Structure 1
Amino acid sequence: MTRASVTIGGQKVAPGSRATVLLPVPDTFLRQGSAMPVHVFHGRREGPALFVCAAIHGDELNGVEIIRRLLRLKRLNQLAGTLYAIPIVNIYGFMANTRYLPDRRDLNRFFPGKEGGSLASELASVFFENVVRKCGYGIDLHTGSNHRRNLPHIRGDMEDPAVLSMAEAFGAPLALDLSGMEGSLRAAAKDSGVRVLLFEAGEPLRFDEFSIRAGLRGITSVLESLGMLPAGKRKRRQVPLQIATDRAWCRAPASGLFRAVAKLGQHVGQGEVLGTIHDPFGGRSTDLVAPRDGVIIGDQSLASVYKGDAVMHIARFDAPRQAQASVDEYSEMVMDARMAR
């Protein structure tokens, strides 16, 4: 039996073909027309439907580059099922180099959205109704926010066996068991029966080659695990997934200029000095001390801090030294690996 076409935005995509569909979204104030491009790969063979999206926050660039490289893979000619790739969801924030929409709303608090609501609700609805509801699975690509960097890691509902399986296939060494805040894409997707994995890596407004390679590697691994792509000729090395039991931000005890001594991915013990906050005028310095054992999965990239600022993000693991070892092995593996084409 011939596989049916898929229809998105009023455009049909036949089996064995690909298309770029422009979903209309509200105009900018210049009234020149605006659209959200969606790349659709509709395989000849039956299989799952999965979306990969980036730039829900407009200043998060790594995911845009990950999807650009994904679109160039010749392996997608062998795709089973349907892949929807959306490089930029928040086109307004992307054009302005900002995380938010023009009205300062965070798009990732307004899913599934609705017509006739705020700009955030309208944009969320366009994406959710035309893409997310058509899929069984999704991968949402993010970076840190507001001058913060994230170690590559996975977030998702690890109590869901399907999400856990995707996380293990993705291959990142660390994961946070989080179901998503109300209004987030993950939470709204879960309510609609769509399993979504979130990949966090890098910082806003910057490309990071390691994070990009890790993301592309992870996406293709998930596609293989779902049977949407044939397995590569060489079996990929994987590291055991370490799932955090808890997490917390270490906050600045004083204002000043921060010099870190601890690094992303490092295991730290409770009471260990993570860095020092100096008075720029030569006065008293204050140490930033780890409030718990764990692994650093995020930090602030700016030197200037105010008292109370979230400076380092520490995740707790049952075996923190093994978590650091997995991070170290993964780092070598991603940078040394020859990317599949």
Structure 2
Amino acid sequence: MVTRAAFEIGGASIAPGTRRTVDIPVSVLADHTPVAMSAHVIHGRREGPTVFVSAGVHGDEVIGVEIVRRILTLPNLKNLKGTLICVPVVNAFGLLNHSRYLPDRRDLNRCFPGSDKGSLASRLADIFMTEIVEKCDLGIDLHSAAIHRTNLPQIRISSGNSTTKKLAHVFGAPVVLQSSLREGSLRQAAKDMGVDVLLYEAGEALRFDELYIRAGVLGVLRVLHHLGMIGAKGIAKAKSDPLFCGASRWIRATQGGLLRTFKSEGDVVEEGDVLAAVSDPFGQVEHNIIAPISGVIIGRAVMPIVNEGDAIYHIATVKSTDDPEDTVDTLSTQLEDMPLFYEDEII
């Protein structure tokens, strides 16, 4: 058997059949504290794809950090084929400050591919592209909604890519949303480099949601198994195909006040349904928020204090022929019945 070459990353050399955490220097704080982007590399003895799993591009989106942490504890990775690069915290600055942004007030996911001579965000983006993305065949980027919002577990892909569409179905989240690529996003920069990226969205910033964490862990394992990198033991197939959604729309408050929601993420709504009500503090003025389209709610606001124009509900239009309500219920029940993905779990 031909021995694989060592995997080179961040100035470190990872021998086949070993795993190691590599600290890739990013910057130095004003008080001389060094900041690094830590990547845990599992370099299998046998050939296979190279895949990265990243989280914390937005520092307050901690659900992805927990998903990566749990994945790294699993015995499924022991005989991995290929190479897996896990970066649980891309934006360490944001994580430490409980913030979506970097100290230069920039959104990292609008700064790719970056530049080694640009702003702090641009430099971090450049490091991630050159040290991680450039070495990979596929990426899975883990996100949550922004602060005071929550998302139904979903995979976002761009149109016209049969590979990511197939992998999105394999992942098994309740919804696959076809969304356009944004200039400066990781997905756009990776595509320009020839690397496909699945974007997983679930939950709320600065919060854990157990079911949504399980969905993320299991989805990543399903993709790794589909690629032939790990065995099938303990990896349940999704009991229902995900809902394929071709478009989505945010429904906004037409007045400020106190928000009372009547529908939640995962609910299927029809055009004309009352989704929520916004009232003034005296109860004298009340305005209903009506669904302008039919679809499935994939995101919503959780902050009860709203201003005019605030995004309240994110509704996706369903292209699938399956019953949307049955699909969401089936996949939710499957997640509830799964064993917990803790360090001492048995898979």
Query: 1:224 & 1:145 partners in 2: Cα distance?
Result: 30
Change (3 A) 1:222 1:319: closer
Query: 1:235 & 1:114 partners in 2: Cα distance?
Result: 41
The residue that corresponds to 1:169 in the other structure is 170
Instruction: Verify: 1:62 aligned to 2:63, yes or no.
Output: yes
Provide Cα deviations, 1:142-183, integer angstroms capped at 9, x if missing partner: 000131100000101252121112101101121111242011
Does structure 2 conserve the Cα–Cα contact (< 8 Å) formed by 1:256 and 1:304? yes
Query: 2:124 & 2:280 partners in 1: Cα distance?
Result: 45
Q: Which runs of 5+ in 1 are unaligned?
A: none
Change (3 A) 1:110 1:233: closer
The residue that corresponds to 1:187 in the other structure is 188
Change (3 A) 1:319 1:307: same
Query: 2:7 & 2:142 partners in 1: Cα distance?
Result: 24
Query: 1:178 & 1:246 partners in 2: Cα distance?
Result: 7
Does structure 2 conserve the Cα–Cα contact (< 8 Å) formed by 1:139 and 1:199? yes
Q: Which runs of 5+ in 2 are unaligned?
A: none
Runs of at least 4 residues off by over 4 Å: none
1:314-325 paired onto structure 2 within 5 Å? 314-319=315-320, 322-325=323-326
Does structure 1 conserve the Cα–Cα contact (< 8 Å) formed by 2:172 and 2:219? yes
Give the alignment's TM-score, normalised by structure 1: 0.97
Identity %: 47
| Amino acid of the structure 2 residue aligned with 1:315 | A
| Amino acid of the structure 2 residue aligned with 1:152 | P
Deviation at 1:111, TM superposition (A): 0.8
Does structure 2 conserve the Cα–Cα contact (< 8 Å) formed by 1:174 and 1:323? no
Greater CA deviation, 315-324 or 331-340?
315-324
Greater CA deviation, 233-242 or 274-283?
233-242
The residue that corresponds to 2:329 in the other structure is 328
Deviation at 1:253, TM superposition (A): 1.4
Provide Cα deviations, 1:2-48, integer angstroms capped at 9, x if missing partner: 11111101110000000100000011222111111100000000000
Does structure 2 conserve the Cα–Cα contact (< 8 Å) formed by 1:267 and 1:320? no
Query: 1:263 & 1:298 partners in 2: Cα distance?
Result: 8
Instruction: Verify: 1:153 aligned to 2:154, yes or no.
Output: yes
Change (3 A) 1:220 1:319: closer
Provide Cα deviations, 1:99-126, integer angstroms capped at 9, x if missing partner: 0111210000111111010001111111
The residue that corresponds to 1:29 in the other structure is 30
Does structure 1 conserve the Cα–Cα contact (< 8 Å) formed by 2:113 and 2:186? yes
Query: 1:316 & 1:233 partners in 2: Cα distance?
Result: 33
Instruction: Verify: 1:199 aligned to 2:200, yes or no.
Output: yes
